[in-house]
């Protein structure tokens, strides 16, 4: 079983320079040890459902220390079957375009 | 403190008639006793962060009983301060348009 | 054909009191004449794809007049077949719970 | 001005093997010539608002050719100022963690 979750979390009371807060959330994600991938609009995390949700809550707890309003967007694609989907999902798309190569 | 979360959850392996599955998730939400509001694109739930996340997981556990792939979208607006925001948030918007009435 | 879209749009450079901006977006949606429903986490709009996307852009143009950073979340459920889904979608869910009544 | 949009689009009437459809959407994005980045949960696209929305509609038009129900999730972070944000946003986060390096 594998849940791939994309998490976007930021404070809404700190103006427009948000990268310091995103960095704190990313540090929490790294501490979890779960596979993850930082992107332009969020960070994808892979794990069992409960593992992923525990990390999401830990990120929230980190930001609530000094934020009065927090916005969270979470999208999860869960499926039974093997993991390794952070890499396998985009590779499968590229393969369909005939560009999978050794990584696809 | 109050988290307002909009949850959209559905199986991806059951075709396009999804309302029976959404109904099962809504039944789980109702059992939680948390304030909620069913809408066209999801159900909004209000509570403390941990309460809301527990309901989200309970909905997931209900659907995973017979689904091999599940899609979840969750958006949370958390802020310190009083609750009652399921009604207060839209009322505040209508008030700005001069249409709040006694509830706005 | 019918697209049901939930739009959440707000400026990120105006602090935490966002209802005046949401109200301006809602006014734009109303001017479109499309069926819509204001909720705690966004406004659902129903129409043809191009109609809905034109309204989304009009909301964005309204807020960009005085915002330097804008956050948009849009989720669309499009399907072939009849419209009227702003009411029909939640009614279908309630019907499955045995609570549809004459409208369900 | 720069809009960074993450698009997730898939048919809901084709079962769970979705990568052929995601590949068709990605091909449309590539044809646009806009900077983009494929990820595990969606593809990020950068451009002017109208450019990005035109690509989103083109992806939708591609999938509607043979789909009866389509799910779209779109999140946009628009801001005035320079572009190049597909790379600059994650780099800014890593820099805060002291790991920006030559790319950050």
Judged by CB atoms closer than 8 Å, whether chains meet at A40 and D86 is answered as yes
List Cβ neighbours of B90 (8 Å cut-off, separation of 6 or more): C38, C39, C40
Q: Are B24 and B62 in contact (CB under 8 A)?
A: yes
Q: Is C89 touching D (CB cutoff 8 A)? A: no
Length of chain C: 104
Q: Is A31 touching B (CB cutoff 8 A)? A: no
- Chain B positions touching D73 (Cβ under 8 A) are 73
Exposed/middle/buried for residue A64 (C-beta within 10 Å: 0-12, 13-18, 19+): middle
For chain D (104 residues), the mean pLDDT of every run of 10, in chain order, is: 95 95 98 98 98 98 98 97 95 90 45
Mean pLDDT across chain C, nearest whole number?
Answer: 94
pLDDT digits (tens, 9 = 90+) for B7-28: 999 999 999 999 999 999 999 9
Residue A77 has pLDDT above 80, yes or no: yes
The residue in chain A having the minimum alpha-carbon distance to the alpha carbon of residue D90 is A40
CA B3 to each of CA A20, B76, C61, C71, D63: distance values in angstroms, whole numbers, following the listed order: 23, 6, 29, 19, 36
The residue in chain A having the minimum alpha-carbon distance to the alpha carbon of residue B69 is A79
pLDDT digits (tens, 9 = 90+) for A53-62: 999 999 999 9
Mean pLDDT across chain B, nearest whole number?
Answer: 94
Cα distance between residue D9 and residue D41, in whole Å: 10
pLDDT digits (tens, 9 = 90+) for C42-65: 999 999 999 999 999 999 999 999
The owner of tokens 């952070």 is: A86
Q: Are C69 and D79 in contact (CB under 8 A)?
A: yes
The owner of tokens 């994808």 is: A44
Q: Is B48 touching C (CB cutoff 8 A)? A: no
The owner of tokens 């696209």 is: D45
Q: Is D98 touching B (CB cutoff 8 A)? A: no
Task: Give the burial string for D23-39 (b: 16+ CB within 10 Å, else e).
Answer: bbbbebbeebebbbbbb
Rounded to a whole number of angstroms, the distance from the CA of D22 to the nearest CA of chain B is 15
Judged by CB atoms closer than 8 Å, whether chains meet at D12 and B16 is answered as yes
pLDDT digits (tens, 9 = 90+) for A85-95: 999 999 999 99
- Chain B positions touching A25 (Cβ under 8 A) are none
C75 beta partners: C6, D73
Q: Are C40 and B86 in contact (CB under 8 A)?
A: yes
Judged by CB atoms closer than 8 Å, whether chains meet at C77 and D69 is answered as yes
* Between residues D36 and B104, the one the model is more confident about: D36
Rounded to a whole number of angstroms, the distance from the CA of A4 to the nearest CA of chain D is 8
- What is the value of ipTM here, to two decimals? 0.94
């Amino acid at each position: 079983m594998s849940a791939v979750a994309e998490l976007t979390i930021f404070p809404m009371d700190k103006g427009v320079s948000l990268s310091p807060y995103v960095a704190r959330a990313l540090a929490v994600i790294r501490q979890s040890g779960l596979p993850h991938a930082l992107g332009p609009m969020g960070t994808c995390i892979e794990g069992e459902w409960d593992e992923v949700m525990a990390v999401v809550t830990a990120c929230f707890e980190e930001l609530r220390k000094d934020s009065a309003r927090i916005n969270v967007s979470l999208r999860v694609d869960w499926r039974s079957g093997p993991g390794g989907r952070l890499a396998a999902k985009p590779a499968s798309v590229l393969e369909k375009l005939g560009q999978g190569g050794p990584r696809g």
